[in-house]
Structure 1
Amino acid sequence: MTALWVDASAGASGDMLLGALVGAGVPLDVVRDAVDAVAPEPIALRVEQVRRGGLAATRVHVDVTDSSVHRTWHHVRELLGHGALEPRVRDLALTTFERLAVAEAAVHGTTPDEVHFHEVGALDAIADVVGVCAGFAHLGAEAVTVSPVAVGSGTVETAHGTLPVPPPAVAELLRGVPTHAGRVAMELCTPTGAALLTTLATSYGPQPAMTVDAIGIGAGGRDPDGHANVVRLFTGVPGGAAGAEGPLLLECNVDDLDPRVWPSVIAALLEAGASDAWLTPILMKKGRPAHTLSALVDGGRAADVRAAIFRQTTTIGLREQPLRKHALEREFVSVDVDGQTVSVKLARHQGTVVNAQPEFDDVARAAVALGRPVSDVLAAAAALARKFL
C-alpha cells in the first residue's frame, strides 16, 4: 500500500501538482500519453529544473497554441469520455471537471452544463487535470492526505474582472476543507488546483505516519520574494517507523513471464534487499499455469524490492503483509576438507548449537579443486561439521 501526503501550505495549482508528481518519480510519458489521448489540439509538455525561494523544484511547462475556444462542461465531458484513458484516470478527471462546473455554476447562478470554463477550460488546464490524474493513478495510492491549503489574499484579475482572493470558485470548491490565507497577498490556490486537491484527497491534515520513499517539489510559474511557490508531494509506506522496519512478505501471481527469466528475477530481488525470494507453482482461473513470486524483506528495504519486482516482472500489483519472524542466532566457522576450506553455518537455540550446515558454494568450489564429486565433498564436510553439534 502506498501513502501520499500533499503539502499545499504554499498553495496549489495544476502545473505545481504536475511538477511535484514528475519530481517524485512519475515518468513524463505517463502524463504525456494521457494528455495526448484527450487533447483536441496539439499540446506539448517539457520539464525544467528551477529554484523557488531557494528550493530546487521541478516545473512542467504545458505548451499550447493560441486557442479562443471557451469549452463548456458538456464539451470537456465528451473529450474525456471519448479519449483512450485508463478507467481510473477518466473517473478522476471527470470528477475534477464536474467539481469545477458545479462550483462555477453556484457562484454565477447558472447550471453546470451552461458554464463556460474560460481559464479552466483552456487547453493547458485540460492538460493539467488529465496529467495530474494520470500521475496519481500511476502511483496507485489508497490514501492521500492533503495539508491545510493556503489560498492567499488580495485580488486577482480573471475573465470575469477583478475578484477577491480566494476567488469565489476557489472558496466554493474548498468548502469544508482546512484553509488559511498564507503569508503573501496573492492568489495561492487556483480553481484547477482546488478541484484537483478535493478530488484526490482522502483526508486532510499534517503529514501522517509514513516511511517516505520519494519527495517531489513542484514549481509554479511565479517566483515571489520571500515565498517558495511550490507544492511538495511525499510518497511512501503508511505506518510509523517501528512498524515500517518489521519483516514483510511481498507476493504476486504471474502467468505471462518466460520461465527462463525467473532465475534473474530472484537474483535481482536478493540484490535489491530481499532476505529470501522463491517461486511456487499454482493453477489460476481458466486452468492457466502460473507462479506465485514471494519475497521476504525488512520494511526499510521494501520500496527497493517492490521496485525490482515491478521492473523485472510483468505483474501490475502486489500483495503485502507484515510478519512475525523468529530467527536463531547464527555464526560461521570453517572445516578443512583435504586442504580446502569450507564454511559452515551454525545455528543456536538458547545458546545450544542445533544445526551445522556446510555452505554449498564452498563445497562446489572445493569439489572442482579436488577433482571429486560434489556429493562426496559435501558428505565429508557434513561429517566434519558434526563436531560443532
Structure 2
Amino acid sequence: MTAADLLVVRPNSGLSGDMLLAGFARMAGAATADLAAIAESLGLPKDCVALVEKSVNQIGGWHARVSLPKEHHHRTLADVEKIIAASALGGTARDLAVKAFTILAAAEGRVHGIPPEKVTFHEVGALDSILDTCLAAWLYERMGCPRLVSGPLPLCDGTVRCAHGLLPTPAPAVLDMLEGVPVRGLASSGETVTPTAISVLKALDAEFGDWPAMTVRERALVYGTRVLPGVANGAIFARGPAQSG
C-alpha cells in the first residue's frame, strides 16, 4: 500500500494568498500556463498571474506575481459563489473555494455584527483574493487533496490599512479566525497573516504542529510580495509520502 502524501507549510515570516498559490503550484508541478487557464475561466485576464523565480538576500525562491486592475466593486458571498460556479474548477476545488469564502464571510459577519450573507467583501472580495483562493483550491485538488500540516502562524504587533481605516494587527477578521490556531510571536511589525491565507488553511482542514515524519519529494522556498525586515523571509513548502511506523 502506498503511503498517502503529506503537504507541509512552514510559515517562517507569515503567509498570504499569493504565497499559498506559489507554494501549491510548485508542489503540484503546475506552470504559469496552467494557472492562466484557470484565471481566464474566472473571468480574469489570462496574463494576470505568473509563477516566477525571486531572490531575497541572495537566496533564490519562487513567487506568484499577480497583476490585476484595482476596483471598487463590493461582492457578497453569493456573488463570489456565482463566479466560482461558472469557472473551470472541478467539483472538489469549487467546494473548497466556496468553503474558504464562507469561513471568511462568517468571520466578517461576526466582526461587524451582521449575517454572513449580508457581508460585502472589500479587500478580501477583490479580484486577487478570488484568484488566490480559487487557484489554491484547484492546485490542492490536483495534488489529490493531501493531508495538510502547517507550522504555527507567526504574528506581531502593528497596523494594517483597509477599507475601514487603520486597524491593529492581526486584522479583526484574521483575529476571529485564529480561534483554535497555534501562533507564535515574530520580532517585526505589521500584517503577517492575511484573511485569504487563514481562510484557505481552514477550508483545507489544515493541522498545525511540528514537521511530520515524511520523505520529502518536492520542496520549495516561497516569497510573498511583502518582505519583512529583520526576520527570516518566506515560507517553506514540502510534499511527499508519510513515513509509517
In the superposition, the TM-score normalised over structure 2's length comes to 0.91
Report the Cα distance in structure 1 between the residues aligned to 2:185 and 2:163, rounded to whole angstroms: 23
Task: Tell me the amino acid that sits aligned with residue 177 of structure 1.
Answer: V
CA contact (8 A) 2:84 2:94 kept: yes
Report the Cα distance in structure 2 between the residues aligned to 1:92 and 1:194, rounded to whole angstroms: 13
Secondary structure, aligned partner of 1:24:
helix
> Aligned residue for 1:14?
17
Out of 27, 31, 37, the position equivalent to 2:35 is 31
Superposed, which structure 2 residues align to 1:1-389 within 5 Å? 1-28=4-31, 29-39=33-43, 41-42=44-45, 44-239=48-243
Cα distance, 1:150 vs. partner? 0.9
CA contact (8 A) 2:152 2:184 kept: yes
CA contact (8 A) 1:31 1:134 kept: no
Cα distance, 1:155 vs. partner? 1.1
Secondary structure, aligned partner of 1:212:
coil
Deviations 1:280-299 (A, max 9, x none): xxxxxxxxxxxxxxxxxxxx
CA contact (8 A) 1:105 1:112 kept: yes
Cα distance, 1:53 vs. partner? 4.5
Q: Which runs of 5+ in 1 are unaligned?
A: 244-389
Secondary structure, aligned partner of 2:217:
strand
Secondary structure, aligned partner of 2:71:
coil
Secondary structure, aligned partner of 2:229:
coil
CA contact (8 A) 1:38 1:80 kept: yes
Report the Cα distance in structure 2 between the residues aligned to 1:224 and 1:53, rounded to whole angstroms: 12
Report the Cα distance in structure 1 between the residues aligned to 2:164 and 2:221, rounded to whole angstroms: 31
What RMSD, in angstroms, separates the aligned Cα atoms of the two structures?
1.7
CA contact (8 A) 2:35 2:50 kept: no
> Aligned residue for 1:265?
none
Cα distance, 1:214 vs. partner? 0.8
CA contact (8 A) 2:214 2:243 kept: yes
Aligned residues: 240
CA contact (8 A) 1:30 1:135 kept: no
Deviations 1:214-255 (A, max 9, x none): 112221112232224312111001015xx6xxxxxxxxxxxx
Task: Tell me the amino acid that sits aligned with residue 7 of structure 1.
Answer: R
Secondary structure, aligned partner of 2:128:
helix
Rg (Cα) greater in structure: 1
Cα distance, 1:147 vs. partner? 1.0
**Alpha-carbon distance change, 36 to 52 in structure 1, aligned in 2, over 3 angstroms:** same
Secondary structure, aligned partner of 1:46:
strand
**Bigger mean CA offset, 59-68 vs 121-130:** 59-68
Secondary structure, aligned partner of 1:125:
helix
Task: Tell me the amino acid that sits aligned with residue 62 of structure 2.
Answer: T
Deviations 1:127-159 (A, max 9, x none): 000111111111114311111111322111111
Cα distance, 1:164 vs. partner? 0.8
Q: Which runs of 5+ in 2 are unaligned?
A: none
Identical pairs, percent: 32
CA contact (8 A) 2:13 2:228 kept: no
